[in-house]
Amino acid sequence: MDTANLSLPEYYINRELSRLAFNVRVLHQSKDTNVPLLERLKFLCICSTNQDELFEIRVSNMQQRLEVSPAPFGPDNMTPAEVLKQISSQTHELVTEQYRILNDDLIPALADEGISFVRRYDWSEEQRAWLENYFRTEIVPVLTPTTLDSTRPIPRILNKSLNFIVSLRGRDAFGRNVRRAIVQAPRSLPRLIQLPPELGDTGDSDFVFLSSVIHAFVDELFTGLSIDGCYQFRVTRNSELYVDNEEVGDLMRALEGELFESRYGAAVRLEIAHDCTDDLCDFLLDHFKLTNDDLYRVEGPVNLNRLMAAYDMVDRVDLKDPPYTPGVPSQLVKANPFDAISKGDILLHHPFDSFGPVMEFVYRAANDPSVVAIKQTLYRTTPDSPLAESLVSAAKAGKEVTVMIELRARFDEAANIELANKLQEAGAHVVYGIVGHKTHCKMLLVVRRENGQLKRYVHVSTGNYHPGTSRVYTDYGLFSANEDLGHDIHEVFMQITSLTKTARLKRIYQSPFSLHKKLLKLIRREAATASAGGTGHIIAKINALVEPEIIRALYEASRAGVIIDLIVRGICCLRPGIPGISDNIRVRSIVGRFLEHDRCYYFHNSGDEQVFCASADWMDRNFFSRIEIMYPIDDKKIKRRLLRNLDRYLADNTNAWELSADGSYELLEPDEGEAPSCAQISLLEEYAETS
């Protein structure tokens, strides 16, 4: 095989543009008429939330990079300015499409179903009277309108908050000319106001936007002045938390300070009503130090995510995904979990399997007098979850409870600080992580005294210990009493708490030490097999593929003849289908009812097939700056089940998007005469039959 330079920039897709492409796939769900109507509205909201995160984290980081150096960076060799320009161009197109879908598709379709968003120019006299009273009694008492002049600049604008800029004429109470004012809408106010059933056009599902109510009655806030215009706007700010790990003495205290300051970080985007005058737009852009590329004119509410309230308030099962009841593996039904796990490994596949057995396992451990210790990592959960309550109970009962809480889990920092305080007050040993490395692995270890000896039980997972997300994220969780696996999990916990080197691990591979090297070895073994005339096959189901050395190894394997099937939900920097480079690589993304989140890797291994599950995606951060684990699946029945699931996703022709060499995605459809296949529906049907 001839040599090739696999580091050429044209072989790589920019990660930020790949992230944007994922959001386009999410937005497509909102216009897919095969998706229930309220679910389409939900996908529109999710798209908006994803865009917020893109600007808060990725765009802000890119702007900071540009300030430091304009030079190209990354394997695609794009400059920060080039990336920002393309993000702006593509995002403006995306935003235009978002509001077109809202105004032309979803609002009319919802109205046909008796769910109306009543615009202020359509209010009846009765509705207007009721809303005016609502404005005076429920809204005005919490508003603080602020006129602007040389001594009263624009007040601090909270990240992603709803605000109004008002154009005024006249003199204030002190005889001074007034031109502009700002009205901030506190987050305590609902962004959707539900009209009483007797006033609704269609019944009890008629809503009015808070922005419409403030706009309609804003003149009452400025008595004696004339209103020339009132326009809603929203500012998105840099929300990346910066904590100097080398200097900070108290991580929790530092993060608490950063959480407050992040609400007022540097502005990165201005969203404003589409009809706002140019002079007011320029005024705001100048104040927030933004350019026209950062300006997004929107025809509708500036924060589409707040429409999620309608999804929650409207009780229409016919317009939502069919309800389902997660199952429980037969081994755990009416069984002591320790007895069941002792008989063999048990796999949970969420959300098709209930998260209940995990919470039951911790509850039993907390209340079992034979259990002497519980150790767990928590990346994202809720302070009031049953799982957290069980850990508190165990600590209060005198058991050795060690909880590794990652305080720096993005956007969950405040909840994790609250949980850490709660556990510490109960007497648990709480560890905050390792300097420079986020603890992202999902591990639970229970030590139980049985027949005079200590026995370890473990639960390892691809997803977080979060009861809420377990209903909407696909993840694998494995219960095991395997001695070697228990030994390894114990060693990793010891490393996290003591910061000492682990003994040689027997079953698992860990970032930042052995995981990256092991994956390269597994990929290269398949390449060597194919080069020798054997069969090489790799399947990987991950959320993101970014790390250049892994991509180069996959290119090398493809050139050697290895068949590579990648199921990558979000970011993918690899280009499949490049002649002579990645001819044997297929990349698909599944976007459907559930968020695909599990990480599962398959290697043919000359017929002695190997399957691994992991907490890690194939990104630089997962390999080099996080604590992650990968573990083999040896139970033959579980392995067959995982392979069958991978085959389902590779056969999906309804929710699958295929990536082309040019970086574009195409939604797959059944060929003529081919039956539709949807992996998520297939899994729901299978679990319904067995539960």
The CATH number of the domain holding residue 531 is 3.30.870.10
Based on the fold, state whether residues 422 and 476 are members of the same structural domain. yes
Handedness of CA 635, 637, 642, 644 (dihedral sign): positive
Phi, psi of 328, deg, nearest 5: -130, 130
pLDDT at 260: 43
pLDDT at 250: 44
Rounded distance, CA 193 to CA 213, Å? 9
Based on the fold, state whether residues 573 and 614 are members of the same structural domain. yes
Residue 50 lies in a domain: yes
Residue 373 lies in a domain: yes
Based on the fold, state whether residues 87 and 159 are members of the same structural domain. yes
Query: Is residue 651 within 8 Å of residue 627, measured between CB atoms?
Result: no
Residues 6 or more apart whose Cβ sits within 8 Å of residue 57: 239, 240, 410
Place of tokens 């698909």: 588
Rounded distance, CA 560 to CA 576, Å? 15
pLDDT at 253: 47
Strand ranges for 170-222 from DSSP E:
180-185, 192-194, 206-209
Query: Is residue 294 within 8 Å of residue 285, measured between CB atoms?
Result: yes
Residue 106 lies in a domain: yes
Residue 76 lies in a domain: yes
**Helix/strand/coil percentages in the chain, nearest 5:** 40, 25, 35
Rounded distance, CA 26 to CA 94, Å? 11
Based on the fold, state whether residues 194 and 211 are members of the same structural domain. yes
pLDDT at 257: 44
Strand ranges for 134-176 from DSSP E:
146-148, 162-169
Based on the fold, state whether residues 254 and 287 are members of the same structural domain. yes
Based on the fold, state whether residues 289 and 377 are members of the same structural domain. no
* Exposure class string for 592-605: b at 16+ Cβ within 10 A, else e: bbbbbbbbbbbbbb
**Structural domain for 42, as ranges:** 10-319
Based on the fold, state whether residues 482 and 546 are members of the same structural domain. no
Domain end (from 473, 507, 541):
507
Rounded distance, CA 516 to CA 386, Å? 35
Give catalytic residues, as residue numbers: 440
pLDDT at 691: 55
Based on the fold, state whether residues 375 and 252 are members of the same structural domain. no
Torsion of CA 680, 682, 684, 689, to 10 degrees: -170
Domain end (from 507, 522, 553):
507
Residue 154 lies in a domain: yes
Query: Is residue 239 within 8 Å of residue 57, measured between CB atoms?
Result: yes
Domain end (from 291, 319, 347):
319
Based on the fold, state whether residues 250 and 395 are members of the same structural domain. no
Strand ranges for 317-468 from DSSP E:
346-350, 371-378, 400-405, 429-431, 438-439, 442-450, 453-461
Based on the fold, state whether residues 89 and 132 are members of the same structural domain. yes
Rounded to two decimals, the pTM is 0.92
Residue 4 lies in a domain: no
Place of tokens 């398949």: 526
Query: Is residue 569 within 8 Å of residue 592, measured between CB atoms?
Result: no
Based on the fold, state whether residues 148 and 251 are members of the same structural domain. yes
Query: Is residue 147 within 8 Å of residue 227, measured between CB atoms?
Result: no
Angstrom distances, CA of residue 395 to CA of 215, 398, 405: 53, 5, 15
Residue 324 lies in a domain: no
Torsion of CA 123, 127, 128, 131, to 10 degrees: -120
Rounded distance, CA 185 to CA 162, Å? 5
DSSP-assigned states of every residue in 483-498:
HHHHHHHHHHHHHHHH
Residues in the chain with pLDDT < 70?
Answer: 1, 150, 202-203, 240-264, 383, 407-416, 689-691
Angstrom distances, CA of residue 311 to CA of 115, 214, 534: 10, 23, 53
Domain count, the chain: 3
Residue 325 lies in a domain: no
Based on the fold, state whether residues 503 and 515 are members of the same structural domain. no
